[in-house]
Amino acid sequence: MLPKLAKDKHKESKDFFKKLKKKPPKQLDYLMQELHEAAFKETNCLECANCCKTTGPLFTDKDIQRIAKHFKMKPQQFINQFLRVDEDNDYVLQTVPCTFLGADNFCSIYEVRPKACREFPHTDRKKFQQISNLTLKNVAICPAAFNIVEAMKKRINF
């Protein structure tokens, strides 16, 4: 099980990210791109959907406007029906699994889905060392992120 695997590796990964933050390799952005693409080539998100089932995204104002328009709703109506404000003052889903996730693991609002959904698990973003805390959480949710971090540890020797 992924949460257990991630837990077993947590300390090792935490130490790794500490070093990464202090001394990020020059080619880190390129390496992340490569590892991200390789991992997602081997991953079928439709067989997983664990991110949609267990966490769900935060919704920016732009996301809310775009998705509300898609449903021909007013942004405030959309907020009232689907969202709540979390402890960080962000709009998030009222319930998980995500309301927009189908039984077949397809996203029913795929074309207009939140930015956070498009970018999850953020393993191809620039300056990856800056989101270590988030990544340490995501490796327990996302098998691709877990594999990417394990591959990083093999490729970057401190």
Where along the sequence are the contacts to ligand SF4 (CB under 6 A)? Answer: 43, 45, 48-52, 56-57, 98, 100-101, 107, 109, 113-114, 117, 120-121, 141-144
Q: Shortest gap between Cβ of 21 and ligand SF4 (angstroms)?
A: 23
What is the smallest separation between the CB atom of 71 and ligand SF4, expressed in angstroms?
A: 12
28 versus 49: smaller Cβ distance to ligand SF4: 49
C-alpha 38, offset from chain centre: 17
Closest listed residue to residue 58, CA positions, set 102, 14, 122, 132: 122
| Choice between 17 and 56, CB closer to ligand SF4 | 56
Nearest approach, Cβ of 13 to ligand SF4 (angstroms)? 16
In whole angstroms, the minimum distance from the beta carbon of 97 to ligand SF4 comes to 8
* Separation of alpha carbons 15 and 28, rounded Å: 17
| Pick 137 or 153: Cβ nearer ligand SF4 | 137
Of 25 and 99, which CB lies nearer to ligand SF4 in the complex structure?
Answer: 99
User: How does DSSP assign 28-91, residue by residue?
Assistant: HHHHHHHHHHHHHHS--GGGT-HHHHHT--EE-HHHHHHHHHHTT--HHHHHHHHEEE-TTS-E
Q: Determine phi and psi for 83, rounding to 5 degrees.
A: -115, 165
